[in-house]
Amino acid sequence: MIKCIDQQLKVNRLLVDQLDLSQVSHPKMREYLLNHIEITTVISSTLLNRSGTAEHLAKKRQLWTYIQQKNPEVFQAIRKTMLSRLTKHSVLPDRKLSNVVYQITKSVYGFN
């Protein structure tokens, strides 16, 4: 999946660009859309953490900066969640913890 990370990041950015929370009047729909974009962002961040290269860590910082600049409301909503806090930071202890959680989740759910 890391080979396709640029596609994953493009999808992530498209979601950020297209999501206008002011146009979503139904609370359940708003919650669903925020969950969807959070999951997509956490997956992107986790894959970039797993790679650990300087280039990929820079891409992760760029993604979070992009979200913050393009859609501050979405950024404020997703940055406070547990998974986002776990995967957002680029310091070594946080990356290691993120990778351990990824390995545990992978063994439980059996995805790639």
The string of pLDDT tens digits covering residues 81-98 is 887 887 777 667 777 887
**What pTM was estimated for this model as a whole?**
0.83
Q: Residues 9, 15, 16, 19: what is their CA dihedral angle, to the nearest 10 degrees?
A: 180
CA pseudo-torsion sign 66, 67, 68, 69: positive
pLDDT at residue 106 tops 90 = no
* Cβ partners under 8 Å of residue 29, min gap 6: none
| 41 neighbors 78 (Cβ within 8 angstroms) | yes
* Cβ partners under 8 Å of residue 46, min gap 6: 87, 98, 102
